[in-house]
């Protein structure tokens, strides 16, 4: 009986550990005003990166001039990349000019906007293996 109990506890621990969910805390620096919202998108691969209909998870918070903090809870362990934009006019869209260049501030985890477009997923990627805190700076 004792052996069955020990095996049961071990099995539950292994299952519980493999399904661990983590909290992602983001501090967005360089927020130029309290207008609108800070929108964050979490991606899991190059194939889905920066595609609005392929976002793994997302978050939004009222913009706070200077620094805005937001959290995404329940994130499984894995490799991710983040795109952030300051939706200054609050229309829930990234406004762009006629060439597709963002008119609102945009930033990424671990990479910056390039002269001719956004960085790739692997330039922005990071690992989540436990609760994670990141600082991302808007230009």
Domain ranges of the chain: 21-137
Report the pLDDT value the prediction gives residue 52, as an integer from 0 to 100.
86
- What average pLDDT score do residues 2-12 get? 48
Q: Tell me the pLDDT tens digit for each residue of 65-105.
A: 999 999 999 999 999 999 999 999 999 999 999 988 999 99
52 secondary structure, DSSP code: G
Distance (Å, whole) CA 21 – CA 62: 25
pTM score, two decimals? 0.83
Going by DSSP bridges, is the β-strand pair 66-75/22-31 parallel, antiparallel, or unpaired?
A: antiparallel
- The single residue listed with the structure tokens 């550990």 is 17
Return phi, psi of residue 18, to 5°. -70, -20
> If you classify domain 21-137 with CATH, what class do you get?
mainly beta
In the predicted model, is pLDDT for residue 10 greater than 80?
no
- Which residues have C-beta within 8 Å of that of residue 58, sequence separation ≥ 6? 39, 40, 41, 42, 72
């Amino acid at each position: 009986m004792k052996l069955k109990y020990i095996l049961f506890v071990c099995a539950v621990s292994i299952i519980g550990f493999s399904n661990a969910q983590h909290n992602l805390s983001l501090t967005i620096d360089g927020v130029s005003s309290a207008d609108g919202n800070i929108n964050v998108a979490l991606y899991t691969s190059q194939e889905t990166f920066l595609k609005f209909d392929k976002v793994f998870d997302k978050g939004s918070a009222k913009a706070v001039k200077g620094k805005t903090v937001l959290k995404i809870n329940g994130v499984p362990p894995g490799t991710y990349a983040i795109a952030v934009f300051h939706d200054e006019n609050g229309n829930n869209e990234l406004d762009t000019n006629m060439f597709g260049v963002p008119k609102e501030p945009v930033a990424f985890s671990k990479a910056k906007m390039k002269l001719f477009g956004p960085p790739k997923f692997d330039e922005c990627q990071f690992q989540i293996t436990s609760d994670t805190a990141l600082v991302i700076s808007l230009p």
